[in-house]
Chain A
Amino acid sequence: MSERINPVEPFLRMDRMPHIWCPGCGIGTVVNCFVRALLKTRADLNKVSVVSGIGCTGRIAGYFRVDSFHTTHGRSLPFATGLKMANPELNVWDFSGDGDLIAIGGNHFIHAARRNADLKVVCVNNFTYGMTGGQVTPTAPLHSLATTAPYGAFEKPFNLPFLADSSGAVYVARWTTYHVRQLTRSMEEIMTKPGFCFIEVIAPCPTAYQRRNRLGDGLEAMRYYKANSKVVHGADTRSVDIDLGGPIVVGKFVDRDRPTTLEAMRDELQKALGGKYVPYPTGVNR
């Protein structure tokens, strides 16, 4: 009998296993879903690049067997923007955690969305800085506990789909790590969609967030997501805030089209410079 290989393995740097993630962590699920999306869409792996910042989710770049970049804290999006601008034929994915992408990288996030940089951005939102041991993040629900919010978080958290939507993202979805098929489907959809596409994935951090907030282990998180998630496609993103212990609205909220950075640049330059403009590829076929 021939040995059966996990279909995910050829996509990963197996020589780097075991990975650093804790049992019950949601990041592995996101990795799995991405591989399934790559398989399903038959993406050209030579042209796929994965960019990450710093933190647990930031380590995703190091495990994918594609050209991959583990950059600095919060700055994966401008790196990815530069990569895509230089080489528009690349399919550039950014995997980042909530602290990385939204706290230290928040300014880059809104600007990448505003300019419609042609990037596929997946934010693993576990409401905590896992790698440094469980500090409060800008997405942490009100009253949740963290090492640096020992008496409870008292700042209103960001609602990421609303932030992405209002900043100009052309695709905005939210799923939990319970929704593996839907998440994979969303990743398949944005694989070829031009522009700034954003997927928020609500994920458990059993070590640093669940335990401190008495939310149980990874399995308990799945039960919670299953019982409390409500699929509302096209939901008004203003209405999808997350409260501690409350329901989680998931689904595809935004799917629209507008010119990417390189397309808008090309159109403007062509208009202004005419024959003097030396055409630069946009990486988009339209």
Chain B
Amino acid sequence: MKADPRGVLTGVHFLDGDHACCEGALAAGCRCAFGYPITPSTEVVERIAQRLPTVGGVFLQMEDEIASSIAIQGAAWGGKKVLSVSSGPGISLMMEHVGLAAMTETPCVFVNVQRAGPSTGLPTLVAQADMMQARWGSHGDYEVIALCPNSPQECFDLTVQAFNLAEIYRVPVMFMMDEAVGHMTERVVIPAADQIEVVERRRPAEPPSDTYALYRCEPGSRVPPMPPVGEGYRFHVTGLTHDERGYPVMNAEAQDRLVRRLVDKIRLAGPALERYEEYQVDDADVVLVAYGITSRVVQRSMQLARERGLKVGVFRPVVVWPFPERRLRELARQVKAFVVAELNLGQVVLEVERLACGTRTVLAPHAGGGLHAPEAILAQVEEVLR
């Protein structure tokens, strides 16, 4: 399906990542948003507050992030495409409801403009240290989808994709921006509405009846269709472990059946969820692995290395969770080493190390508050190749 032209600001713009993310949400069909101010993500909700009333939507600033993160879920069941936006401490407060969305299979997008922590940390400065929180920050077993844009243009493009993936898989999608990408201003091209693919919510094919089951999947599918509220399905939604009808069931069998499906619908999605980019990996001895803003820094490191005659490539996961596993395993068989650069002291590197199966994997750490110097990453490449 094509985007609703009302929400699409077609044209060539000069936007920062935060504003581009807002435009992506509107283009994707988001018509209901709830938020709470926090640096460096405030600009997203400011623009949403300004824009939504002009495209037929509603925005409400809630009393805190806890309220925002569950108000969007009420609105999702109310039939809307929804998002909430936050950063650092606000994202921590939202975590319980990431779990609720996973458990109740509520499609929603959580935008996290990452700043340095822990706790209040560096409110105005960049980090990429919420990657593991994005994956498993709520209690219990579940899987999410997490995307990492590296430019304002991608903040637009990938926000549209984030909404589409939320509808297809009925999971919370974590949109993992960072302060640098959020506050960086660049050219953003917003296509015409008929050039933007949006995924509409899949409704049950069957009419309301006494035998309707809220979480019954069609054969071969792990994602049930989602009924609209107010049309007679009279369904029950609960955060408790539940059966196909949505009714609470308190035993190990029901737990296994439900949680296994919630996890498998993402873990077994395969190529459908693979999004990555790679540069000069064909002859590479060393592949630099980076995402978000750092994936731009390592481009320079690669360039410097190539100038010195070193065979260095770049692998950039765009969807970081689930990690593009198949491709990384392939690369692991052909390269001498991976150097993983991220603005934390070692998070995604653990996943790379696991998939590298013995191929040397080295972390280029940075605690956040600034970006890596490309030369520092280069030095690590040289060290690895020595």
Which A residues contact B (CB, under 8 angstroms)? 13, 15-16, 45-47, 49, 51, 61-62, 65-72, 75, 78-87, 89-90, 107-108, 111, 115, 261-262, 265, 269, 273, 276-280
Q: Nearest Cβ distance between residue B238 and chain A, in whole angstroms?
A: 4
Q: Are B80 and A71 in contact (CB under 8 A)?
A: no
Q: B328 contacts the other chain (Cβ, under 8 Å)?
A: no
- CB-based contact B240/A70 at 8 Å: yes
Query: Does the CB pair A72–B100 fall under 8 Å?
Result: yes
Do B71 and A85 have beta carbons less than 8 Å apart? yes
Q: How far is the CB of A23 from chain B (nearest CB, A)?
A: 21
Q: Tell me the interface secondary structure of chain B in the complex.
A: mixed
Sample of 17 more A-B contacts, CB < 8 Å, known A70-B240, A82-B34 = A47-B230, A69-B74, A69-B236, A70-B238, A72-B70, A78-B62, A78-B71, A78-B74, A79-B71, A82-B75, A85-B58, A86-B58, A86-B75, A89-B230, A273-B54, A276-B54, A277-B54
Please report the C-alpha to C-alpha distance between residue A67 and residue B226 in the assembled complex, in whole angstroms.
13
Task: Assess whether B74 is in contact with A83, with CB atoms less than 8 Å apart.
Answer: yes
Does B189 count as interface, using CB distance less than 8 angstroms?
Answer: no
A70-B239 CB under 8 A given contacts A78-B70, A83-B77? yes
A71 in complex: contacting residue of B62, B68, B239, CB < 8 Å: B239
CA distance in complex: A45, B66 (Å): 30
B146-162 to A contact mask, C-beta < 8 Å, 1/0? 00000000000000000
**In angstroms, how far is the closest chain B Cβ from the Cβ of A138?**
18
A67 touches B239 (CB 8 A): no
Q: A87 to chain B: which residues have CB within 8 Å?
A: 78-80, 229-230
| Nearest chain B residue, comparing its CB with the CB of A266 | B53
Report the minimal beta-carbon distance from B62 to chain A, rounded to whole angstroms: 6
Q: How many residues of B contact A (CB 8 A)?
A: 45
Shortest Cβ distance from residue A105 to the other chain B in the assembled complex, whole angstroms:
10
Known contacts A72-B70, A86-B78, A273-B53; A261/B60 CB under 8 A: yes
Task: Check B55 for interface membership: any CB of A closer than 8 A.
Answer: yes
CA distance A45 to B208 in the complex (A): 13
Nearest CB in chain B: distance from A61 CB, A: 7
Most chain B CB atoms below 10 A, which of A81, A84, A111, A269: A81
Complex Cα–Cα for A9 and B239 (A): 25
- Min CB distance A175 to B, Å, is 27
For A265, give its contact among B58, B62, B236 (CB under 8 Å): B58
Question: What residue in chain A is nearest B80 (Cβ atoms)?
Answer: A86
Check: B89 CB closer than 8 A to any chain A CB: no
| Bound-complex Cα distance A229 to B70 (A) | 38
CA gap between A91 and B223 in the complex, in Å: 29
A262 to B59, CA, bound (A): 10
Quick one: closest B residue to A66, CB to CB?
B234
Please list 14 pairs of residues, one from A and one from B, whose beta carbons are closer than 8 Å in the complex, sorted by A's number.
A47-B230, A65-B234, A72-B239, A75-B67, A78-B34, A79-B74, A80-B74, A82-B74, A83-B78, A85-B58, A85-B60, A90-B78, A90-B229, A111-B67
Provide the bound-state CA to CA distance between A132 and B291, in Å. 45
A83 and B75 contact, CB distance less than 8 A: yes
Establish whether residues B74 and A86, one from each chain, have CB atoms under 8 Å apart when the complex forms: yes
Do the beta carbons of B235 and A51 come within 8 Å of each other?
no
Q: Which of B242-261 contact A (CB under 8 A)?
A: 247-248
User: With an 8 A cutoff between CB atoms, is B136 at the interface?
Assistant: no
Would you give the shortest CB distance from A266 to chain B, in whole angstroms?
A: 9
- A35 → chain B closest CB, angstroms: 14
